[in-house]
C-alpha cells in the first residue's frame, strides 16, 4: 500500500502525516481521540501550555492502554489456567475409563 499525506487537526493545529492508504481511517480516529482528550485537559483549566497538555494527554492515554493490556493478560492467564485444568480432567477421565473398561 502506498503512503498518503494526511492532514489531521489537534487543538486547531494541522499536522501533515504520512500514512499507509489502508490506515487512514485509523489515523483520523486516533487524531480525533487525541484532540478530544487534549481539549478536556485544556478546558479543565488545570494545565496550561500545548506541550504540557500533550504530555498529560499522552500519559493518560498510555495509562489506559497499559491498564487494558494488564487486564487482557490477566484474562489470558485465567483462560490458560482453565485450559490446563480441563486437560487434567480429561486425562483423569480417560485414565479412569481405561482402568474400568467402560
Determine contact, residues 8/17, Cβ cutoff 8 Å.
yes
Q: How far apart, in Å, are the Cα atoms of 33 and each of 17, 26, 48, 58, 59? A: 16, 10, 20, 11, 14
Distance CA 4, CA 82 (A): 46
Domain positions in the chain: 3-100
Provide the 3-class DSSP secondary structure of residue 84.
helix
- Fold classification of 3-100 (topology level): Double Stranded RNA Binding Domain (3.30.160)
- Computed over every residue of the chain, the mean pLDDT equals 91
pLDDT for 102 beyond 80: no
Residues 10-53 pLDDT 10s:
999 999 999 999 999 999 999 999 999 999 999 999 998 999 99
Closest CA to 38 of 79, 19, 10: 10
This model's pTM is above 0.85: no
Give the pLDDT mean for 94-99. Answer: 84
Amino acid at each position: 500500500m502506498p503512503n498518503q499525506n494526511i492532514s489531521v487537526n489537534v487543538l486547531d493545529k494541522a499536522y501533515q502525516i504520512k500514512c499507509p492508504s489502508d490506515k487512514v481511517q485509523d489515523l483520523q480516529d486516533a487524531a480525533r481521540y487525541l484532540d478530544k482528550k487534549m481539549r478536556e485537559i485544556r478546558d479543565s483549566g488545570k494545565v496550561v501550555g500545548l506541550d504540557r497538555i500533550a504530555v498529560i494527554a499522552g500519559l493518560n492515554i498510555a495509562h489506559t492502554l497499559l491498564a487494558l493490556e494488564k487486564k487482557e493478560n490477566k484474562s489470558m492467564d485465567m483462560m490458560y489456567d482453565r485450559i490446563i485444568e480441563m486437560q487434567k480432567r480429561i486425562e483423569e477421565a480417560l485414565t479412569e475409563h481405561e482402568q474400568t473398561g467402560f
